[in-house]
A and B are shown apart, each in its own frame.
Chain A
């Protein structure tokens, strides 16, 4: 199965917001809800090129997603063909995924009586039908390239090599949080565009290492407690006294000596 990914070349983005509109139309979202957000960065302020000023935020579709590791009920899941999908029928709205995500992507439906999570699923239904995601299909400049992850990484490297003056020499998403299936190229340092600086290891790793210690801790604790119980009991028996009497006398002894 193909490991689908998206390469977004921000130098080709003209900020038309077609991707946002296509996403909303495809998912039938209300006007104030977006799974993809373009962010206009005024502070870079070079008026001759829109492309220098666009940031973008959507689910990064991590290779090893922290949200899926954290989700209480397993409503978030990385599929074999790339997308991190969300099962709204399972979700209990605990919002742990929002803290787990190193990119602060999942958003909550605060204004609903029974709120759920909003998150891009790379149009998993369209992928299954052999189409590309709605945002990629809608982009008029071809800034959103859809394809296989390794091929897109190679394409990104080629673009940087061919125009080393045009790009910052960095593929955002190649290694962030253990690698993501959404990759970015830019001519402006990513930090200036509002992309978070994220470590190269997926937070899911540390989490799962700790969580997998659970059975050992449980078994060890049970054994230790039982062992301590028998040891103390035996000690008391060896003193040829009823354990309660012994403890009381000891307590009195302590009290007298104070």
Chain B
């Protein structure tokens, strides 16, 4: 047993060691942050009380939106051909939410009281709703992923039970996701005096929700190609193409929402201001919405793995710009205050993300994560016209 563990550790690829080193360094800085307080370790201030960490939390939650989007496609709409993508996507969601929870605790002034949101509810608070939904949804993700662990360790009864309750779990999970993906946007509804009017709207929760669906789809599409490089396992190309087919619709709807809101609020003129804010807003729409919308409209592009990856990355860059705009760049400046993250903030963020990737990699090495996906050679054969994926048993 110990010999085997020793051998596994010796044969670990260098990338795993690099991730582990970044994680250990980041977590050391994190411990120091908990001990020393926010003034010593961050550049946050009274003008910018939230910074890099909250921006990344918003981005990671949208990125992890693939888990609920795919769960709805496979279990509710019963498009079972997408089943092979479920396990990798749920795991991505799980490590994504895990990283968000760690960073949220880092951000709290009284991190020792993180459980207070359970004891002292304020139903008017968007952050209260977000906290509850993220907690519950993380539990749902753990349950959705549990059959994989049960299969590995031979706990058949528990595994069967979890598979039986999969549908109610998915329905609860998708509902919780709808709530907190949107209420992360609701956070900004109260910030009418601080957020630039190009971004501010009472409908921002709807925009957050729609864009999280796009981010989630992009995550699954991009992930298929990345796991082809890293794990030599991937989804059949026609499945990636079919997922890509959804994107122009979602992005198109998002574009209509964004432009329609400006039109309805009579703020379209702000786009012609040609200042920092209008450039930022247009950059998000051009890079993250219009470009991938056009790209994924062509069947040939959807079927080409490299183009699909490129398009998915564009969507994710757009979401990144959007989430960092509302938490940082598009806030009206306050005289005397400036924010740029400190090296400690960046180190902790990089450390936590490295930890998330590390967990994913190790689970991918040792647990039956890619059941129903195809190895790369088979993927090549299939894409040349052989039959599509076999449906997985669960």
Q: A residues near B, CB below 8 A?
A: 66, 69-75, 90-96, 98-100, 102, 104, 107-117, 177, 194, 196, 198-199, 203-204, 206-211, 214, 217-218, 221-222, 225-226, 228-229, 232-233, 236, 243-244, 247-248, 250-252, 254-256, 258
Contacts and interface: CB of A to CB of B under 8 A. Distances in A.
Contacts of B37: 110-115
B35 A113 contact: yes
B122 A217 contact: no
Contacts of B40: 111
B202 interface: yes
B46 A98 contact: yes
B124 interface: yes
A99 B242 contact: no
B114 A92 contact: yes
Contacts of B190: 66, 69-70, 99-100, 203-204, 206-207
Contact of B125 (A102, A211, A225): A211
Contacts of B171: 222, 225-226, 229
B389 to A, nearest CB: 8
- At the interface, is chain A mostly helix, strand, loop or mixed? helix
Interface stretch (B23-31, B102-110, B254-262, B283-291): B102-110
A104 B46 contact: yes
Given A93-B108, A203-B190, A243-B78, 9 more contacts: A70-B190, A72-B122, A92-B113, A94-B127, A95-B49, A99-B191, A104-B46, A115-B38, A244-B80
Nearest to B242: A254
Given A71-B125, A96-B127, A199-B192, A210 B49 contact: no
Contacts of B79: 247
29 contacts: A69-B124, A70-B127, A73-B116, A73-B120, A74-B125, A91-B110, A93-B110, A96-B125, A98-B46, A99-B190, A100-B190, A104-B334, A107-B46, A109-B109, A111-B39, A115-B110, A116-B110, A203-B191, A207-B186, A211-B123, A211-B186, A228-B77, A229-B76, A229-B167, A229-B171, A243-B80, A251-B239, A255-B238, A258-B299
Given A114-B112, A203-B190, A221-B175, A99 B50 contact: yes
B175 A70 contact: no
A198 B124 CA distance: 22
B126 interface: yes
Contacts of A104: 46-47, 334
Contacts of A210: 126, 186, 189, 202, 205
A63 to B, nearest CB: 16
B345 interface: no
A94 B198 CA distance: 26
B386 to A, nearest CB: 9
A94 B387 CA distance: 53
A256 B76 CA distance: 26
A209 B202 contact: yes
A71 B191 CA distance: 13
B108 A258 contact: no
Given A206-B202, A218-B175, A211 B108 contact: no
A249 B126 CA distance: 45
**Main SS of chain B's interface residues?**
helix
Contacts of B113: 91-93
A24 to B, nearest CB: 18
A93 B109 contact: yes
A221 B209 CA distance: 13
B164 interface: no
Nearest to B114: A92
Interface string B170-192: 01101100110011001101111
Contacts of A100: 190-191
A229 B80 CA distance: 13
A209 B77 CA distance: 31
B155 interface: no
Contacts of A209: 202
Contact of B117 (A73, A207, A222, A232): A73
B321 interface: no
A225 B124 contact: no
A248 B388 contact: yes
Contacts of A73: 116-117, 119-122, 128
Contacts of B45: 110
Contacts of A221: 174-175, 178-179
A214 B34 CA distance: 34
A129 to B, nearest CB: 27
A232 B190 CA distance: 40
A248 B80 contact: yes
Contact of A251 (B129, B205, B238): B238
B32 to A, nearest CB: 11
B196 to A, nearest CB: 13
